[in-house]
Every structure is written in structure tokens, then in C-alpha cells.
Amino acid sequence: MTIKHVIVPIDFSDVSIAAVDHGRWLADRSTSTVELVAVTTPRYANVTTAALTSLAADEDLDASFRVLETESEDIEGKLVEALLSSGDTLWCVGSHGRTALGELLFGSVSADLVRDAEVPIAVVGPHAVVRDRADVLAVAVDGTEVSESILPAAVAAAADLGLRLRLLQVGVGHVPADANDNNYLAGLSKHLPDPDHADYDTLYGEAGDQLVAYVERTDDIAMLAMATRGIPAGARLSVPSTAMRVMRHAVVPVLMLHPRVAEQQPDSHADPVHLVDLRKRVVVGIDTYEASKPAVDWAAAEAERRHAVLQVVHSWHIPVTAGSMYGYPIWPDIEAVRQAALDEVAHTAAAIVAAHPGLMVETIVAEGGATQAIAEQSEGAELVVLGRHHHGRIAKFLVGSTSESTAKHVDCPLVIVPCDEPESVAAEIAATS
């Protein structure tokens, strides 16, 4: 991948126009040219060319223009055709960052481009900004062949853009089984241009959340690079795409690649490398902070006593109810539901830190069942702490008991703290293997 041209597709939406600044920055860093490309019908070709000229003048951009004419409504197909015929070119595409449901309803040209082109594309999400002084291209990997497929493109892009490479190992509990969290990255860095001065870091917790937070607080990162499995929107309703979610929230553009190797691994849960977080950890599962406060307080005190990391685990799911007069399911605002979950763990973490300033607290938000999320996080942990609520028999029959279900699946000692009595400090201890 050698960058001699930067192409910015324009449909005159706010997100496509926002990508112009990023295209200019990429062109300046790589001393390449900028081209604006639009797709329209032959009838409106002249009008579209005039609009592109006006846009370049408004943006004070020295760029060439290209209008692709088509009679069909397959705009993405026309762009892919042009993309694949453009050698030595980096496409910089603006994106609304729609959720899976939003993509199903309204479509997403940027997601379709990444999925179908199978070449690296710089995707500018709705929160991305140009960091003029940043000089790092961060590359997210998780030990899988798919994630590592972005490395050659990232190395080439970093060289063309004059950026330093930084490897980021991410994922839930993703620490190599050899007990050294840097061995995997150190081995991977041997394939980089300057392995003796490799820069890498390990992020603990839920991959998407940790990547977004890391990039936001680390202001020397100009761009993030990730591979994606290219999961279609319909499948992403139940199998979330980390890359798409990171792009939706990242404050920098994301260099995305959907490699052909992804098609050879249809099981999105397959993980050829067994990774376990071997730090001293106490895991506590919560519903809400108020409802789980006795369990949270007990877990925080125990983690502090053990000099361990406290990991707060909270799960969420998409509530679908047959609420219309015709019995059709009503879909909620999925992003609002997820944001409420993030707000809940942030509130919990803030309360814990206020009471235990020296304690390291990490938050993990997972979509799906609480039992699965907690059981996964329990591997390698010293202790799991859960609250117990005295539901009536009918409620327990309907909703089940997370503490009872989790006790059958965790891989470490489990402490169950009664949460219905505010003054209770007693704990019921159960060990599982």
C-alpha cells in the first residue's frame, strides 16, 4: 500500500463533508493529491460537478473532481468498482456510524465499502477529529489471524504518513496463556520494520470500550487501524462488531480492512489463541449500583485487602416487546440502552473510587446474559462477588437467579452477598471449580 492519492467520496451529507478535512490531512502527511468523487445519474452530472467545485472552494481545498455516472441505485457498487481500479490510493470515507438496526433500516455505504472492497479504507466516524500534532498509528490486535491481517497495511500506511506504530492488544480477559501480557505483542513486533524500538500496550476489559477510551485519552494517536470480520447488519443484532462500534465512537479515523481470511472463519466466536487475564483480580457483577451496593462494597474492600484489581461487570440486552396493537415487536433505541449500561458502570466505578481512592477499578460492559459475561471474566480471577436478592418464587421462576446460575459456571471461588438488607455484611461463600 503506497499512498499517492487520497479519494474522498462525497454525497453532500454532513458526514461526507466532514471527511474532507481528514482527507486533506492524510494528503498533507503523505504528500499526495486529493480527489473528490460523487456518484449521480447522467442527468445531474453537470450539477454534481458544480457542487463539488463549490465544496472545494468553501473548504479551501486544492482537489480534483470525478463524477461517476450510473442509472442504477447501487451507489456503493459503483464506488467499489472505482475503488478497486484505483491503485496507490487511500480512500477516506465519512460514516454516520449507524448501529446494526440503523444500518438495516437506512443502509450504510461506508460499511458496504469496507465489507466488499477488501482493501484498507480510512473511515471517519461521527466523532472523529483531526489531531494535527499526533504522530502514532495504533493497531488493534487480539491474537486472531483476522485481527493481524491489518498489520501489513498499517505498516505501509504508517511509513507513508510519517507515523509511529503502536500495537494494542485488546479483548475481554485477553492475556496470553504464558502469564506474560507482553509476550504476544513482543513476538508480533518482530515482524515490524523496527522491532528493537517497538511500541505496544495491553488493554484490559471489553475490547470496544477500552479501545475507544484509550484513543480518547491518548492524544498522540492520529489514527487507529483494525480488521473487521465484515459481519452484515442483520447478524450484528446478535453478534456485535467491535470494529464498527469502535469506529462509531472513536475520536480519530479508523483504518479498516475486511480481509478475505475472515470469510474462512464463519464462527465469529472462534478464538484460536486461549487468552487469560492472570493479574490478581476480584470480579463483581452488578445490576445497578443501588441494588448491588452491599456486594460492591464487600468486593471493593476485599480487592483492596488483596491488593487486587476490582473489575465491575454489567450486562445489557436488547429488550424487544410485542407492544404494537398488531402484536409486532417494538425495537428500542439500542444505542440508548447500551449507553445507559455504560453510564451505570461509570457511576458505580466513580462511587468505588471515591470510597477507595487507591483501588484500581475496571469496568466491563457486555451485551447478553450476565451469567456468561461473569463466567468468562472469572477465568484466572481470585474471586467473584455477586449480590443476592430475595425474589419471590414466581419472580425467580420468571427471571431466574443470576447468582445460582453463575455458581455453576465460574472458575474461581464465589462470594454471594445478601443485598436486600442494607446493613448486612454477612456473605455466603461457595467454591466452584
Query: Domain 5-264: which topology?
Result: Rossmann fold (3.40.50)
Alpha carbons within 13 angstroms on the beta-carbon side of residue 186 total 7
CA angle 212, 303, 315 (to 5 degrees): 45
User: How many CB atoms lie under 10 A from the CB of residue 97?
Assistant: 25
Q: Look at residue 204 in the predicted model and tell me its pLDDT.
A: 75
Q: Look at residue 252 in the predicted model and tell me its pLDDT.
A: 96
Which residue, among 101, 84, 88, 94, has the nearest Cα to 32 in the 3D structure? Answer: 88
CA of residue 99 relative to chain centroid, distance: 12
Which amino acid does the sequence have at 189? S
Q: Look at residue 124 in the predicted model and tell me its pLDDT.
A: 94
Asked if CATH classification 3.40.50.12370 holds for the domain at 281-430, the reply, yes or no, is: yes
Region of residue 120 (phi > 0: left; psi between -120 and 50: alpha; otherwise: beta): beta
The pTM of the whole model exceeds 0.85: no
Residues 429 and 414: their CA atoms lie apart, in Å, by: 6
Residue 185 has pLDDT above 60, yes or no: yes
Domain ranges of the chain: 5-264, 281-430
What SS3 string covers the chain?
CCCCEEEEECCCCHHHHHHHHHHHHHHHHHCCEEEEEEEECHHHHHHHHHHHHHHHHHCCCCCEEEEEECCCCCHHHHHHHHHHCCCCEEEEEECCCCCHHHHHHHCCHHHHHHHHHCCCEEEECCCCCCCCCCCEEEEEECCCHHHHCCHHHHHHHHHHHCCEEEEEECCCCCCECCCCCCHHHHHHHCCCCCHHHCCEEECCCCHHHHHHHHHHHCCCEEEEEEECCCCCHHHHCCCCCHHHHHHHHCCCCEEEECCHHHHHCCCCCCCCCCECCCCCEEEEECCCHHHHHHHHHHHHHHHHHHCCEEEEEEEECCCCEECCCCCCEECCCHHHHHHHHHHHHHHHHHHHHHHCCCCCEEEEEEECCHHHHHHHHHCCCCEEEEEECCCCHHHHHHHCCHHHHHHCCCCCCEEEEECCCCCCCCCEEECCC
For the stretch 12-67, pLDDT in tens is 888 899 999 999 999 999 999 999 998 888 888 899 989 999 998 988 888 888 89
Which amino acid does the sequence have at 165? L
pLDDT confidence bin for 339, thresholds 50/70/90: confident
The burial of 222, by beta-carbon neighbours within 10 Å (0-12 exposed, 13-18 middle, 19 or more buried), is given as: buried
Q: Which residue has the higher pLDDT, 279 or 6?
A: 6
Q: Look at residue 70 in the predicted model and tell me its pLDDT.
A: 84
Question: Of the given ranges (210-214, 244-248, 365-369), which has the lowest mean pLDDT?
Answer: 365-369
Note whether 5-264 and 281-430 share their fold: yes
Residues 203 and 314: their CA atoms lie apart, in Å, by: 18
For the stretch 232-274, pLDDT in tens is 655 544 556 788 889 999 999 999 998 875 444 444 444 444 4
For the stretch 219-233, pLDDT in tens is 999 999 999 887 665
Which residue, among 70, 32, 18, 292, has the nearest Cα to 157 in the 3D structure? Answer: 32
Residue 307 has pLDDT above 50, yes or no: yes
For the stretch 64-107, pLDDT in tens is 888 988 887 667 677 877 777 777 889 999 998 877 665 555 55
